[in-house]
Structure 1
């Protein structure tokens, strides 16, 4: 496998991003148990490998709370 260019995120980089997002959401009382690194996204199916973050699987109450927080932060 050829070396990964420095501009592409590593699993570690994406894991840190997930933890930062988890901490930021927790400040607003939002917990997403399904928030995780999507490891198959590193398999090369995307060009270049994207290192996606899975954010789905939350209920409507959590989704509405997350949307409200993001709107509030966006207004600043």
Structure 2
């Protein structure tokens, strides 16, 4: 089942918001891209964020990548 663009964008934004919250991260401007949705594209705006928030997000992504990488023999 394919969601309408607005519903898909909202679901994706909520998934990211929830995943970030697990790491204590808040993206203050996270939301749907209204113009993109109006044009039929399920776009999400990540928006501006404080440098410290971006660093926390980068660290969480690195940690997840490290946890999923195969260990060396």
What's the RMSD between the two structures over aligned residues? 1.7
For the Cα contact (< 8 Å) 1:39–1:51, is it kept in 2? no
Q: Please list every run of at least 4 consecutive aligned residues from structure 1 whose deviation after the TM superposition is greater than 4 angstroms.
A: 6-9
Structure 2 regions of 5+ residues with no counterpart? 69-73
Q: Normalising by structure 2, what TM-score?
A: 0.79
Count the aligned residue pairs: 67
Cα deviation digits, residues 23-75 of structure 1 (max 9, x gap): 0000000011100000101233xxxx432111121000000000110111112
Q: Which has the higher helix share?
A: 2
Q: Normalising by structure 1, what TM-score?
A: 0.76
- 1:12 aligned to 2:7? yes
Distance in 1 (alpha carbons) for counterparts of 2:14 and 2:4: 15
